[in-house]
Chain A
Amino acid sequence: QVQLVESGGGLVKPGGSLRLSCAASGFSFSDHYMSWFRQAPGKGLEWLSYISSSGDSLSYADSVKGRFTISRDNAKNSLYLQMNSLRAEDTAIYYCAVRYDSGSLDDYWGQGTLVTVSS
């Protein structure tokens, strides 16, 4: 079955950096767009970024553009989010997700990894 497992979260000081990873299994990773979302404590959901199957098409939310970089390694079935210049408002649970049309719309999320930005 499809599994997405995020890692790399933790406590970081404002202005610091962190790299999140998402290990994918149970589907053909290299065939599908992947996305990152986040959810601040007690708040709603926010789409952050997507990357195309080959990695040549990227998009970012305005809130993270210029600070976050999405990438993937299809040989390792892994998705990444490099987060630089972190701010207190970046504190959130970060989820990786995949959505594809297999006749029905399949949509899978990882369990999330918590990023806390605090001095």
Chain B
Amino acid sequence: AIRMTQSPSSLSASTGDRVTITCRASQDVSRYLAWFHQKPGKAPQLLVYAASTLQSGVPSRFSGSGSGTDFTLTISGLQSEDFATYYCQQYYSYPYTFGQGTKLEIK
């Protein structure tokens, strides 16, 4: 199985800040990389797919980049609703695998 490693595992930031989360795959996944966010008690929601394509309705302050094994999710100008846990997921091959998550907390 492809192992996905996210960093950092937690992050404290303030509204208006710019933050970056990284995700590394143990082998090449091309651009088959998605980013989700999840709020407590809720199902995960897709933010970004194909490494850099924003899901419909996702604000432009979110951006994704990368290909192959190294990917990033950047949030420019944090809003209160962005404080959540973020996961990357490779969908290049089954079993689809997720990073361990990055918990974004208010400083």
B78 to chain A, nearest CB (A): 22
Q: How far is the CA of A110 from the CA of B43 in the complex (A)?
A: 7
How many residues of B are in contact with the other chain, CB < 8 A?
24
Please judge, given known A-B contacts A44-B87, A59-B94, whether A105 and B44 are in contact too, CB under 8 Å.
Answer: no
Main SS at interface, chain B:
loop
| Contact in complex: A45, B89 (CB < 8 Å) | yes
Q: How far is the CA of A45 from the CA of B45 in the complex (A)?
A: 12
| Contact in complex: A104, B53 (CB < 8 Å) | yes
User: B56: which of A62, A104, A111 is its contact (CB, 8 Å)?
Assistant: A104
Residue in A closest to B96 when the chains form the complex, CB atoms: A47
Main SS at interface, chain A:
strand
B73 to chain A, nearest CB (A): 16
Residues of chain B within 8 A (CB-CB) of A56 are none
Interface residues of B (CB under 8 A from A): 1, 34, 36, 42-46, 49-50, 53, 55-56, 87, 89, 91, 94-101
